[in-house]
Amino acid sequence: MQEPSIPDIIQLIPLKSYLILSTALFVIGILGVLIRRNAIVIFMSVELMLNSVNLLLIAFSSYKSDPSAQVFVFFIMAVAAAEVAVGLAIIVMIYRNTRTIDIGFLNKLKG
Amino acid sequence: MYPIILLSFLGIVVLFLGFAKSKAILLPATLLFLAVALVGNFVEWNQGTIIYFYNMLAVNNLTLAFNGIVLVSAFMIVAMTRGFQDDDEAQPAEYYAIMLFSLVGAFMMIGFENLIMLFLGLEILSVAMYVLTGSDKRNLRSNEAALKYFLMGAFATGILLFGIALLYGATGSFTLTGIQAYIGQGNPSYLLYGGLLLVLIGMLFKVSAAPFHFWTPDVYEGAPTIFTAFMATIVKTAGFAALFRLLSHSFTGIYDYWWITLAVITVLTLLVGNIIAVYQDSFKRMLAYSSISHAGYLLIALTAMTPQTENSILFYSMAYSVATICAFGVLIPLAREKAMTGKPRETYEAFNGLARNNPLLAFVLTVSMLSLAGIPLTAGFWGKFFVFGSAAERGIIWLLVVAILMSAVGIYYYFRVIMAAYMKEGDTAEIRVAPFYKIVLVTATIITLLFGIAPGLFTGLV
């Protein structure tokens, strides 16, 4: 018996469910960015937003039998890794100077 | 396409030049490389539209002209970076290399044909800017600016990407032509509208339009001034080129849907940028709000989306970039010479008595402020003229009224600096400026005046 292909497995679940799931993850990410005070947690929320996009792209790609979105996902992952490198460097730099990563302490710049 | 390859390669060369014992070679080498890229850019001039890399990137006269503006701005800003050599903490080789790499991102945004390239270009430009913003490592203000810019930028990227995913879900394609063809079929899916809205929000974040502007003043104020100038000119020019390309090549079919959204954002941007700028005490922060208000003027041209829009955006970006470089260029030596407590003085008082102290700097400052305010005989006047003309052609009169009222408000805060420089008495410590620095400022002033007297010279080129 032949193994079912991955697009077939993905298509066992209706497209609408993927859309709802990734929108929910995306909204959780946005709320995390807006509400949390810790720079690392905000950063994790941004990653959650990016990964919800990856999930959505893969679902669309499987339903449309079009590989270009899967290529896009690789680009997103690579760019996100580069962003993590820069972002963590900035957070470490701030920690060295202030001994905290709570964004409430960032109030040197005011109008 | 050549400048992308050239600068990717030459940026690495600059990094290796950093191993040399003397740092003196870095500045001339970087300027040479930028000149090479500028020549390489115009090799493809007047050859029609050329498509590269399997429909990923397009090159035509318009994208080449935008590339030219970005390259010339970068050339001027790099030429003003002599200060790196006095600072032991500075890493000039890395700064120059990152600047060159960020330009590659700008070119990709200007000529993208596929949304993958838009995303990559935006990220190459943004990640480079996060690093440059935080380059003053021991300075808490610079740290804070870098973290704010980074978190807000990454957030905006997430929103942009979700929009792109929804657009793909609706159209099944990442290419501009594919999206246009899908809209041409009529009766588009609701995913398309949601996707377009999110992509617009993501892009407007990057060009700092209200209500997505709140990071701008803090980041502009905290970043080292030379990189603020880089941000205010190159990121904004590339961002508007990309927005124009996206809207004009793909979404003209549903113009009725997005123009009202964009018009509301334009009015908000104009009001917020101009009115809050009036209440600033810091010149640098005023320039940040001024950059928000200029984003508003550029948005007017996008909202109108007439056949003249491309030329008016091009001219406005040029006039705005040159004038902004002049303004920051005057601020840098002034803030350095007048630094008393280690913290640079960037308030309006720093300009007191500038005309007696250094008449050349005062003149450069005056011309750049007049150009930003849109007074006749400067390039800024014609920029505003073309932008308002496109709105009048489309018949959006209420937008035009708001814009003209707000540019009247703008005259108040731009003239405050000129008044401080000419009317008020200041301390008489002499301000010394390197000859090369003077040449850059004078050239930029001449460009502003030349295109202010004869705008046809520029518009005739494209």
d(C-alpha B156, C-alpha B173), whole Å: 22
pLDDT of residue B340: 55
The DSSP secondary structure of A48-59, one letter per residue, reads: HHHHHHHHHHHH
Confidence band for B19, pLDDT divided at 50, 70 and 90:
confident
The DSSP secondary structure of B284-327, one letter per residue, reads: HHHHHHHHHHHHHHHHHHHHH--TTHHHHHHHHHHHHHHHHHHH
pLDDT per position as a tens digit, B276-329: 999 998 899 999 999 999 999 999 999 999 888 889 999 999 999 999 999 999
Which run of H or of E encompasses B52? strand B50-52
Q: Which of A64, A72, A109 sits opposite B145 (nearest CB)?
A: A109
CB atoms B172 and A66 under 8 Å: yes
**Cβ atoms of B445 and B367 closer than 8 Å:** yes
CB atoms A109 and B221 under 8 Å: yes
Which run of H or of E encompasses B377? none
Residues of A in contact with B108 (CB under 8 A): none
pLDDT per position as a tens digit, B157-168: 999 999 999 999
Between A and B, how many CB-CB pairs are < 8 A?
A: 118
- pTM of the entire predicted model: 0.94
pLDDT of residue B141: 87
Residues of B in contact with A46 (CB under 8 A): 151, 154-155, 158
Return the CA Rg of chain A.
Answer: 18
Topology (CATH) of A8-102: Helix Hairpins (1.10.287)
A63-102 CB burial, b ≥16 within 10 A, e <16: bbeeebbeebbeebeebbeebeebbebbbebbeeeeeebe
**Cβ atoms of B342 and B375 closer than 8 Å:** no
pLDDT of residue B85: 63
Token pair listed for A104: 């409430």
**Is the ipTM, as predicted for this complex, more than 0.90?**
yes
d(C-alpha B287, C-alpha B192), whole Å: 36
- Single out the residue of B190, B169, B178 nearest to residue B257, CA to CA: B190
pLDDT of residue B321: 95
Report yes or no: A68 at the B interface, CB cutoff 8 Å: yes
Give residue limits of the domains in chain A: 8-102
Mark residue B320 as left, alpha or beta (left: phi above 0; alpha: psi -120 to 50; beta: remaining). Answer: alpha
**pLDDT at B21 exceeding the cut of 90:** no
Chain centre distance of CA A78: 12
Token pair listed for B15: 């990094």
CB atoms A49 and B155 under 8 Å: yes
pLDDT per position as a tens digit, A65-80: 888 999 999 999 999 9
- What is chain A's length? 111
Report yes or no: B172 at the A interface, CB cutoff 8 Å: yes
DSSP annotation of B23 = G
